[in-house]
Structure 1
Amino acid sequence: MTITLKASEIVAADYSTQRARFAELFSRIAEGSRERDLKRILPFEQVAWLDEAGFGALRVPQAYGGAGVSIETFARLLIDLAAADSNVAHLYRSHFGFVESLQWQDEPIRRSWYELAAAGKTVGNASTERGGNALGQLNTVLSYENEAWVLNGEKFYTTGTIFSDYTRVSAALQGKPGRVFAVVETKAAGVKVIDDWDGFGQRLTGTGTTIFENVHVDAVDIFGREASGAEATHEASFFQLVLLAVLAGIARAARDDAAQSVAKRARTFNTGSGLPFRNDPLIQETVGRIATKAFTAEATVLAAARTLDIAIDAAVGQEPDENGHRPTTFEGHLAELAVEQAQVSVPELAIGAAQQLFETGGASATSTSKGLDRHWRNAQTVATHNPIAFRARAIGDYFINGTLPEGLNAIGDATTVPSIT
């Protein structure tokens, strides 16, 4: 049965109302972010708080028990959370990507998973393999054995899975072309989640290994995946928008740490003006430049989010073809281009803000106990998810030649070696 909230229970989907719902919780999460990073304490408790508060149901329609917020409002809330702890915001990427994909599914599937998300259940990610798979191919295989579907394989970069109730696995179908998604419980027999992520940033996202050994999968939990069209275009853009929101949150955290440390600093340099740092015009200017980077990053992310709101309305509103597919709309291509342009600018802004933070203090700012380096480490780590050079080239090709961005929708070992002329 579809969950329908009573009028008195429906919470407004606007940003100010939702911000008020989560403000105190975000503050509690921020209080321990530095210590968690220093001691590498995975945020299981903080994730549980958010799940219980309904954070994972932000994009679930109100008719199914969720908040039903727009993509722009979602992005604003994610930036708020990332400013509190970028790791926690990042690890929800897979879950929100899964929830976003449900709008393309048939009603029984939508209803089932929306209601689970509204009840606080979350879905992680298990798509990428560490190596050894050719581009477009996967070593993780879903096979039909003894009248049952069985999953076998090993994944890396399984962000969020260690915190989640389920994980969405990208797999090849044995003996058939193409790939599918299989959704399995993280505590199911044969699933092993390993905390072996050793990146120097975003240390607490659970971005490690997940192994699947003869895991049984119900047929209803196997989803087809579109390699092109409106669904694939929107999914790719949405996943990247989440990372951009995380980067904007990191820039804001760098701004706040810069301002707070300068405001209480008593020491100055013998080569300076002799004024307290909070009154020194050069230090004020530096903090102002950091704040401007944070503002520009956030404004860029929200502008891109608005284009995605327009695009998804246009995509879902169009009639599918005889195969049930929806082509990418004009609005979808504009949103894709907007996100790609944000991918070129936002990482540089966030990394710049985090780096410039150290211009507002002396050598004491590099003390490990202060944890100020985590902003740069985290921003740099998130930025590596989308190499700027590839995005900038695609944008240039579009404006010069009118070539629409085209992704490979797969990760693996390159299969051809281009000739060099």
Structure 2
Amino acid sequence: MTELAEATSAVTFDSPQLQELIDHIADGAIERDERDELPYAAIAAVKAARLGALRLPVERGGGGATLTQLYEVFIELGAADSNVAHILRSHFGIVEDLLRSTRPEDGRWLERIAEGDLFGGASTEIDAPAGSTDYPYRTAITQTPSGLRLNGTKHYSTGNLYVDWLIVGATDVDGGKVQVIIPADRLGVLRPNDWDGFGQRFTGSGTTSFDNVEIHPEDYFSKETSRREKLPYPATFFHLQLNAMIAGVLRRVALDAVELVRARRRAFYHAPSDVPAEDPILQYSVGLLASQAFAAEALVLTTAAALEQAYAAHGTPEEQQLSLRAALLNAKAKVVIDELANRASSELFDVGGGSLTRRGAHLDRHWRNIRSIAAHNPKTLKAVAVGRYELNGTPLPNQGFF
């Protein structure tokens, strides 16, 4: 990949600099897949461009993007390299939390984000009930003769291989639940590359462990008794990111189909045209894929606009209903997008025949990545929840899946 100049301020939405960054990430995606290469260089470019500050107000050194614009960028990143989009997932969730904070002491973290730093989360523990926030963390801070120390292991800590800071959920010395923010490279923080998924292979979604990591008083971010206000459906933000990433991969599938047909020099046996691009059967396949990509993107952006309305209503009587609406739209979008994308990533092979199954074409990465992203929560659960709501008015579950 070509080198990008380091930015003096955060990239802004729809700027040439942002497009240059996305093109830069896309240019190396197939080579990384070929070489099993972790995208450290791509993430370095993200930091240099200060993409992580996209949502910060311009007056705070950010890009000033709206929430809907952020999801447009996630779609574009998903089309460029869905691994890179996924790596940034926790960071942008943390940014949203900080933007809603009214605590002056949180301003220092926004300053770090404005400078290009990336944040990751370390909360999930392997024996915790899925979606629950009530379980006691086994990862704990204890008092030792040498001071406070953090020990434990977190799982599914996506992106932590690449970030500068970690927000860690832990049990404090008094038994209460806390969050601490520590440098990702502090002594005793272990970030092995042990994620072995067949898709999204370079997201670093494995374990993060803490072996007698020093904890200082200034590392404390929040305590259970003074947590920031929570949104009615806090997980909508994160799961809409997943829908946006899949929509992005589907866009890439459609673009690949166009390029493959244009590049073909031989027609199928019994083809109605000797020129592949003039073959109505191939035109149908390309048109179908492009239409499916459009539908997926439209669903994501409609839901993003609804979520933006809910965020704007924070603290008002309308917030609960608007948040429910956004969560409901996101659930409906997932049911449709998963179905479209999994089918489309297989139908892509209809435009080129057996030659497209060569490993060197790397077209299987689309199905592998879509399948891995979609597996974060089943569309069957979402469809059932939507059906219950439509039939009986039953509110959506309010936990990790929603």
Q: Is the structural similarity TM-score above 0.5? A: yes
Structure 1 counterpart SS, 2:211: strand
Deviations 1:2-57 (A, max 9, x none): xxxxxxx99896x43x3x22111211211110110121101111111111111000
The residue that corresponds to 1:404 in the other structure is 395
Matched, 1:123 2:119: yes
1:23 aligns with one of 19, 22, 29? 19
Q: How does 1:11-410 map to 2 (within 5 A)?
A: 15-16=13-14, 18=15, 20-131=16-127, 136-137=134-135, 138-145=137-144, 149-173=148-172, 176=175, 179-220=177-218, 221-224=220-223, 231-315=230-314, 318=316, 329-409=320-400
- Judge conservation of contact 1:254–1:357 (CA < 8 Å) in 2: yes
User: Are 1:102 and 1:109, in contact at CA under 8 Å, matched by a contact in 2?
Assistant: no
Whole-angstrom CA distance in 2 between matches of 1:289 and 1:204: 30
Calculate the TM-score normalised by the size of structure 1.
0.86
Tell me the alpha carbon deviations over residues 132-159 of structure 1, each in whole angstroms, 9 at most, x when there is no partner: 7796423222345569543211112111
1:75 and 1:104 map into 2 onto residues whose CA distance is 18
My pick for the range that moved more, 286-295 or 125-134, is 125-134
Q: CA deviation at 1:167?
A: 1.4
103 and 219 in structure 1: CA distance in 2 versus 1, 3 angstrom threshold: farther
Give the secondary-structure state (helix, strand or coil) at the position aligned to 2:212: strand
User: What letter matches 2:38 in structure 1?
Assistant: L
Task: Output one character per residue of 1:83-103: Cα deviation in whole Å (capped at 9) or x when no partner.
Answer: 111111111001001111113
Residues in 1 aligned to 2:310 and 2:58: alpha-carbon distance in whole angstroms? 20
Counterpart CA distance in 1 for 2:208 and 2:324 is 34
1:323: which partner in 2? none
Letter in 2 for 1:84: A
| Cα-to-partner distance string for 1:42-78 (whole Å, 9 max, x where unaligned) | 1111111111111000111223211121110011112
Q: Indicate if the aligned counterparts of 1:126 and 1:169 stay in contact, CA closer than 8 A.
A: yes
Give me the whole-angstrom Cα distance separating, in 2, the residues matched to 1:205 and 1:258: 26
Aligned 8 A contact 2:10 2:51 in 1: no
Indicate conservation of the 8 Å contact 1:230/1:328, yes or no. no
Q: How many residues end up aligned between the 2 structures?
A: 390
Distance (Å, rounded) in 2 between the aligned partners of 1:362 and 1:64: 52
CA deviation vs aligned residue, 1:344-385 (integer Å, no higher than 9, x gap)? 222222222211111111111011111111011100100001
Report the 3-state secondary structure (helix = DSSP H, G, I; strand = E; otherwise coil) of the residue aligned with 1:83.
Answer: helix
Cα deviation for residue 231 of structure 1 reads 2.0
SS in 1 for 2:230: helix
| 2:310–2:319 Cα contact (<8 Å) kept | no
Alpha-carbon distance, 1:105 to partner: 2.5
For 2:192 and 2:32, locate their aligned partners in 1 and report how far apart those are by CA, in whole Å: 19
TM-score by length of 2: 0.90
CA RMSD of aligned residues (A): 2.6
C-alpha displacement at 1:180, in angstroms? 3.3
Indicate the larger mover: 257-266 or 107-116.
107-116
Identity over aligned pairs, percent = 37
What amino acid sits opposite 1:105 in the alignment? S
